[in-house]
Amino acid sequence: MNDPARPFDRALLRRRRDRYAGLHHRHDFLFAHSAEEIAGRLQAILRDFPLALDLGAHQGLHGRALAENPKIGQVFHGELSEELARACPRPALVCDEERLPFADGSLDLVVSGLSLQHVNDLPGALIQIRRALKPDGLFMASLLGTRTLEELREAFIYAEAEAQGGASPRVAPFPDIREAGALLQRAGFALPVTDTETLTVSYESLSDLMNEIRGMGAANVLNERRRTPLLRRTLRRAEEIYRERFSLPDGRIKATFEIVYLSGWAPAPTQQKPLRPGSAKQRLSDALNTEERGAGEKAGFPTPDDGSPDSEG
């Protein structure tokens, strides 16, 4: 029986990452992009982070980028796959994002690049990260967003419905930006920030795209996946649908990758706090030197209930 609260087969995810660890460097463009983006954001933060963790490190691209920042001291790499952990710079450890082995208040910075979207209990993982941070410690991460591989999802839904009489889930239900922001607040982070970007990548064929996904160690690990091998006729039909709907002018096919970036701080007494509602000592209209009007009232027009000829009732 599948547990709806645990959509991902984490043991299979570990085996997939172990299997493709030697090929990961050929398919790491998304990780490299995320690492560069997060490193750039950290450059703008004017403070030191003596002890940092690259969580879900894969081959350590994010951690390597952190190590180039003079404001960041010791960098640890934590990775679910033992084979990928061996490829990370030292110190590195095998580390499950769902069961962090770090003491409360022990880290100054936690970075995670394109890994947490495969965690079953993401709110629980974020709470563990927040607890592992020192007061005023920073968490910064990237996750694959809801639009990721939307073309592949659509092609297989229609192909399997035609060829096999029903579709099985093949692309994970990634979080969107609103969900990510709500999860940060739910986990107790202060000053949460989220934003997103969308990358469009082209491939010669559907097979090339699927090989890329396997090389990332990110093939289907949903517990509700179909356990029988993919039929050739289904794959052929999926390729046809993909080309019919998502071909580029040069004959290649496109694939969408959405990356959601999020950051938050472990609460600390020294942090800025939002003002209590109703605590303002000056009206906004006075500050802006404008006339204050009631809700729904527009400049030069009466409100609907003022008895004017245009009002009803």
Interatomic CA distance for residues 279 and 282, integer angstroms = 9
- Residue written as tokens 């000056």? 282
- CB contact at 8 A, 56 and 78: yes
Q: In what order do the strands lie in the sheet with 190-203?
A: 92-94, 72-79, 49-55, 107-113, 133-144, 253-265, 190-203
Please write the tens of the pLDDT for every residue from 9-38: 999 999 999 999 999 999 999 999 999 999
The CATH fold of domain 10-265: Rossmann fold (3.40.50)
pLDDT at 302 over 70: no
pLDDT at 193 over 90: yes
Please write the tens of the pLDDT for every residue from 43-92: 999 999 999 999 999 999 999 999 999 999 999 999 999 999 999 999 99
The average confidence (pLDDT) of the chain is: 89
pLDDT confidence of residue 228 = 82
pLDDT confidence of residue 10 = 95
pLDDT at 274 over 80: no
Strands (E), 100-189: 107-113, 133-144
- Helix boundaries (H) for 165-303: 177-186, 206-215, 232-246, 284-288
Q: What percent of the chain has pLDDT over 90?
A: 74
Per-residue CA distances from 2 to 18, 119, 132, 175 (Å): 24, 16, 31, 21
Mean pLDDT along residues 272-290: 64
Percent helix, strand, coil in the chain, to 5, is 35, 20, 40
Assign 278 a pLDDT band (cuts: 50, 70, 90).
low
pLDDT confidence of residue 251 = 95
Assign 301 a pLDDT band (cuts: 50, 70, 90).
very low
**Range from 89-93, 101-105, 268-272 carrying the lowest mean pLDDT:** 268-272
pLDDT confidence of residue 275 = 61
Q: Which helix (H) or strand (E) holds 52?
A: strand 49-55
Please write the tens of the pLDDT for every residue from 127-171: 999 999 999 999 999 999 999 999 999 999 999 998 887 777 777
